[in-house]
Amino acid sequence: MARIVNPILFSSYFGVNPAEIDKAGLIDPFLNVDLELFIDPVLLEKSGHPLIAKDAIAVFRDHFSKIVRLLTISQAEDDVAWLAARRLLNLEEPSENGLGYGGASRSGSSRPEEIQSMILRTTKEIITLGANDPEMISLMGFFEEGVGPDTISDFTTRVVFLQLATITSEFCNSHALATTPISEERQDIGLPHFVDSKGTSKPFLLVPKDIVRDLPIANDWSDVREAAMKNAEIRNRVSQLLAGITEPTVTDTKHALRGAALSSADAFNHFLASVKDNASNYDPIEDALGYYRYRQLLLADPDALSAPSKVDLSTGPEAIRAVVHEAIALFKQHVEVGDLWRELWVDGKPKKERAAQLMFQAIADAFCKANNIDMSPETNMGGGPVDFKFSKGYEARVLVELKRDSGTVRHGYETQLEHYKEASETFFGIFVVIDYGKLGDKLDTINEIRKVQLLAGERASDIVVIDATPKKSASKK
């Protein structure tokens, strides 16, 4: 998950009622960290904002059509037409929209030229088949390992920047928010500016809710693949290409999808139509990533989550461990006794692990601030990031790793957390398992590992299980 540190909401910073942002159909983004959503060009035409559904989609299609025309006449890579197409394919990350994988900042970055070349080569291949729909770029993530949805989102943002800026400017004007013109030529369109901790002023875009999707996690894009596979021709072709592979990897599936979709112009057009028909925006009601619930917790009265601990922190590192256990217990109570478990499910299925992590972060952070303990999410301990690090001073450090019951519970406890502890030079680790009803004998396994470690005189990480299974309402108990 992206590292979210001390997030600042647009509504909080500018003093706008969050309900007004929701009413306008816009995302209330973080100003200092990225939100793991991306603009999907196939959603532009479906938007409820006329400026997006008519103007933005027209601008997008015209822009990429120019790239298609240039690649059509290109005879070889790096000839005049190819280089002109490359210049039009701007993949630099726009820091103004606050979307993407970034966590601790929103600095924006550029991508390697090789990714640009991948997209151009695949586009040329599709053109050679006889297809030329400008929205083909939205499918590049299906075919190329290095092309993620954030890449497509950034390209789209740059192309339809003027329409997004206009929507933002109109919202700010109607709510009396100060703006600065986007350029000398366009004094009529202004963007609000956020001044970060270093005193740097940065412009900001507001993005409509109905044109964004949640970012697929690195090796899990099953939802996107499922939409594409609803087309019978593509599904049958993919099945043939994957025949004989017992457990296809993401790479295997991408190769098969590429082979199926690029077998002919008709196959590609069917594939694109299938994706368009089934594409839907991030649903605030389902809230698969837990963003809206997380925002709700951030906007809530912090006193409700900031009960002072009775632990004497001056007694040493063990005391920090005790306070972290209190923070976990508070989260556990909200899930098991309160209604927070509802925010961890969608359509009868557990939400992504990200949702639980965000819920825990919001509750634990408020509790720790009240007790003068620092909590750092996604801290790299060497060899990868641990979910959370709690600390007070240099020596008192406690690491917390959250796992859902369907994950690699034994590996997470026995190997992963211990590796992080060793890298962090700390004795204290707490392994939190979110049980959605499929924990089974995994708990017995890690409890036995802990028992053996303790009998050997070793410091074993604590284990906490949180029951996130659906609960009956009070009226039905």
DSSP string, 129-151: HT---GGGGGGHHHH-TT--HHH
Q: Which of 300, 387, 301, 293 is nearest to 342 (CA)?
A: 293
Residue position matching structure tokens 């590996």: 411
Note whether residue 221 is domain-resident: no
**pLDDT in the model for residue 321:** 87
Give the residue with greater pLDDT, 29 vs 196. Answer: 29
Give the residue with greater pLDDT, 341 vs 196. Answer: 341
Note whether residue 420 is domain-resident: yes
User: Sign of the CA dihedral 419, 420, 422, 423?
Assistant: positive
DSSP E strand stretches across 92-185: 180-181
Number of domains composing the chain: 2
* 383-407 pLDDT, tens digit each: 455 688 888 766 678 889 999 898 8
**pLDDT in the model for residue 216:** 52
Note whether residue 227 is domain-resident: no
* 431, 345: one domain: yes
Residue 390, amino acid = F
**Average model confidence (pLDDT) for the chain?**
82
Structure tokens at 232: 């019978």
**pLDDT in the model for residue 302:** 60
Note whether residue 174 is domain-resident: yes
Lowest mean pLDDT among 12-16, 74-78, 271-275: 271-275
Does residue 349 have a pLDDT over 90? no
What does the alpha-carbon distance between residue 424 and residue 397 come to, in Å, rounded to a whole number? 8
* 209, 322: one domain: no
* 212, 306: one domain: no
Q: 300: domain range? A: 291-467
* 308, 453: one domain: yes
Which of 160, 186, 216 delimits the end of a domain? 216
Can you give the length of the chain in residues? 477
Confidence of residue 443 (pLDDT cuts 50, 70, 90): very high
* 303, 203: one domain: no
Note whether residue 430 is domain-resident: yes
* 210, 301: one domain: no
374, β-bridge pairs = 391
* 295, 209: one domain: no
**pLDDT in the model for residue 473:** 61
Highest mean pLDDT among 103-112, 371-380, 417-426: 417-426
**pLDDT in the model for residue 32:** 77
Q: Is 106 helix (H, G, I), strand (E, B) or coil?
A: coil
Average pLDDT over residues 233-254: 70
* 97, 193: one domain: yes
Lowest mean pLDDT among 367-371, 403-407, 471-475: 471-475
Note whether residue 369 is domain-resident: yes
Q: Which of 194, 57, 77 is nearest to 138 (CA)?
A: 57
Average pLDDT over residues 316-330: 86
Q: Is 400 helix (H, G, I), strand (E, B) or coil?
A: strand
Give the residue with greater pLDDT, 309 vs 386. Answer: 309
What does the alpha-carbon distance between residue 208 and residue 402 come to, in Å, rounded to a whole number? 32
Note whether residue 327 is domain-resident: yes
**In this structure, are strands 193-195 and 345-346 parallel, antiparallel, or unpaired?**
unpaired
The burial class, CB within 10 Å (0-12 / 13-18 / 19+), for 314 is exposed
**pLDDT in the model for residue 232:** 65
* 101-159 pLDDT, tens digit each: 554 444 444 556 888 998 999 999 999 999 888 888 888 877 777 777 788 888 999 99
Q: What single DSSP character describes residue 284?
A: T
Average pLDDT over residues 74-102: 85
Note whether residue 267 is domain-resident: no
Which of 216, 247, 262 delimits the end of a domain? 216
Sorted by sequence, the CB contacts under 8 Å of residue 404 that are 6+ apart come out as: 350, 353, 356, 433, 434, 436
User: Sign of the CA dihedral 100, 103, 107, 111?
Assistant: negative
Which of 184, 216, 248 delimits the end of a domain? 216
pTM above 0.75, yes or no: no
* 199, 53: one domain: yes
Q: Is 76 helix (H, G, I), strand (E, B) or coil?
A: coil
